[in-house]
Chains A and B, each alone.
Chain A
């Protein structure tokens, strides 16, 4: 009988590069920037790492295939290194690999690195690319914003929400994330904005305007994990441990079977239910201290509030407008600016989110530190499109909580 990952693995150190348009940096430079911080935080040497995972989404835009780019960049001494890719959950997948390796006893200390260098395409937005030889024959010519934008039309139809009211709530989400990002020195976008700016922005994919979409950024993030015992032996006192690590991947039912209405993410709900069970959390709205979700678009963040069972079904608009998720609200969401403003270097994002939860729990988040002492921090990634995707959830928290 599986017992789950709860409290079996502790975070020894973390690092995160500054996110943004890093015109003069290669992916390798970003990796080293994040790794140096994590190594210093962990207080170990590279030679103490037993295995490593590299998470990237669009490797052909930067490092290329395989794990060799990570091993050579960090001069990892002939240890097992793997590269994982699972769309926007790639970073969380790297962390999952490292965490499971430690939990299994296969190694004492493991490294997870996520990186993406996206600003080498010559245009804004994510790289346009083929989807596979068979898919290209019948998939629509879709983009990320266009795929996620459809959540809005289906959500309004299902819950009888006025499209204008939904757009207002989406604008509130973006304004909140910009306010949070302004307090984060590593964030890509650091300018506060107002609701009027969001509502009057050029349309990208109806009803998503420019400010409903997250930043496309270069960046890297890194985690070094070990067992709680080793962490303590290395002198760590306040441990942040992994409480849950869950992944749910579409079975194809949403894309092919008429049982899905298009207004929510089936995968997020499945992964969330399993993650709460693994972490021993029964009332997430009361127990989760703060969280980072995959706000690739404002509408994604809105429906995710319900898919993570923080808001009741059809209640997210009300919670958002009430400021429930604001930095000074009941359960802050995207206190670091989120994908929206911290930025979204695909492979790095999952680890960046855990980095923020780690800093918040240890009280090291500086100007944006949550005043109420955080106990459980949750992160969430969505890769792909609402009708076929990967959802990942990580819950970290104080050891013993």
Chain B
């Protein structure tokens, strides 16, 4: 039995903010940003965060909700929505993975993604690794242009792996190239040239050498190198230093997505696997106060999992966003006048949430054991007027059902961070319906009666007063 990656998935939000509009907005102050003003960066919608993106990547990886037999869900990120509430736990709950597992948040470094993957591989059981980043960046900082929002997920364990884990290594070096302090909103970064010379070019080669030794692989056997820096020049220099031709570097997705922080090595790995051939050896490196390096060898089983969506699929589904102002508003980087309607108290009763957790976080409805009617939410008495049986319902998951749009509107009156607010009646295949918020209505997607919809896990409301946010499942054009 081999240990390695059993399945993989990824997620990139659909909006792609054009970097030239960012650079143009700052040209009066920081004209040097013009050099970064090419390509596009993935931009999370207002209702997306690292938890929701991790859920989408997890669904892509596991083929939907409700996989059984997982021993752990491990998340890696530096942009957790909650400092004290286990983020991996919310992901596990939305994926309806049950309670009989370990959940773990790994953070504190740009290595969080690779460290989560390494920890899961060393754990020995069957684990889901999710990593998602939505980094807040200061307007005008180069990171605003070079970063992007994205997520990746890996099911690791023993069995018919698509990529066998050959081995890896870690080095801890407290080189502070940047940091975000306890109450810091943004990264504070030091000079790039120093980070290149003393950081990337010294720490990474040592780590890679150790990993190669542990894996029993020589550098010339490596076919692809996933190295998550935005700068092609730095990546090439590091590749040469470890003994690889720059052609071995995997696409760092700088042109189409941007660097997704701690998630980026995993995003690049998922993207590489989308197009890898059996036998390929992939080197993945994470960098941040030291370095992680992991080596995988792709197996024949990879063919069964390619072309099903993932990072490659998401990258094809982007649409051009040219409104930099919207990006600032979505990330609370400017204080918008939202009107008195936005002042409605969004307090969540934590007792209410807990009691209704399956319904809210899992989108679990009901199925009548008497008449087989499916409905959402589940209720004491069947919704079918012809039935009306008491206490006849068993849980019925709705999140992965396809649905059709029955009626809809675009509402400019009700409060929305991204007006008009779309919602409508969606009717699930096999029965059941929901008057649902509708999200990600892209400029090219006109809503039509009867059109196919799917459900996605999103932030429903932000309670800015208390720092809480509640999640729910929302319809989007399929």
Contact = CB atoms under 8 A, between A and B. Distances in A.
Contacts of A165: none
Contacts of B122: none
Interface in B416-446: 416, 420-421, 423-425, 427, 431-437
Contact of B406 (A122, A154, A251, A256): A154
Interface residues of A, number: 45
A7 B321 CA distance: 66
Contact of B385 (A123, A203, A253): A253
Interface string A228-264: 0000000000000000000000011101111101100
B330 interface: no
Interface in A258-290: 258-259, 261-262
Pick from B414, B415, B460 the residue with the most CB of A within 10 Å. Answer: B414
Contacts of A385: 435
B223 interface: no
Contact of A258 (B356, B420, B433, B461): B433
A330 interface: no
B176 interface: no
Nearest to A255: B435
A207 to B, nearest CB: 8
A151 B359 contact: no
A208 B409 CA distance: 9
A258 to B, nearest CB: 6
B407 A154 contact: yes
A253 B341 CA distance: 30
B410 A141 contact: no
B427 A258 contact: yes
A112 B56 CA distance: 55
Interface stretch (B25-33, B132-140, B214-222, B373-381): B373-381
A203 B435 contact: no
B412 A150 contact: no
B415 A141 contact: yes
Contacts of A252: 379, 383
Interface residues of B, number: 51
A149 B132 CA distance: 37
B369 interface: no
B344 A142 contact: no
Contacts of B406: 154, 261-262
Interface in A109-146: 121-123, 125, 128-130, 133-134, 136-143, 145-146
B376 A256 contact: yes
A184 B200 CA distance: 80
A82 B456 CA distance: 45
A139 B437 CA distance: 8
A202 B360 CA distance: 35
A157 interface: yes
Given A204-B413, A256-B433, A129 B344 contact: yes
A211 B346 CA distance: 31
Contacts of A256: 375-376, 379, 383, 432-433
B11 interface: no
A251 B450 CA distance: 25
A276 B327 CA distance: 57
A146 B383 contact: no
A387 interface: yes
Contact of B414 (A122, A128, A136, A259): A128
B409 A149 contact: yes
A378 to B, nearest CB: 27
B226 to A, nearest CB: 40
Given A125-B413, A141-B421, A142-B414, A258 B340 contact: no
A387 B424 CA distance: 10
B231 to A, nearest CB: 42
A154 B434 CA distance: 15
Contacts of A141: 414-416, 421, 423, 437, 461
Contact of A134 (B339, B352, B375, B435): B352
Pick from B341, B435, B461 the residue with the most CB of A within 10 Å. Answer: B435
A4 B423 CA distance: 41
Contact of A130 (B344, B379, B436, B470): B344
Contacts of A202: 412
A18 to B, nearest CB: 26
A107 interface: no
Nearest to A146: B411
Given A133-B349, A258-B433, A123 B383 contact: no
Contact of A137 (B348, B383, B414, B421): B348
Contact of A150 (B407, B413, B433, B460): B407
The 3 A-B pairs with the shortest beta carbon distances in the complex, nearest first, are A146-B411, A150-B407, A143-B414
19 contacts: A123-B339, A128-B341, A128-B344, A136-B346, A137-B359, A138-B360, A141-B414, A142-B411, A150-B407, A153-B409, A153-B424, A156-B449, A204-B413, A205-B413, A253-B383, A256-B375, A256-B379, A257-B433, A258-B432
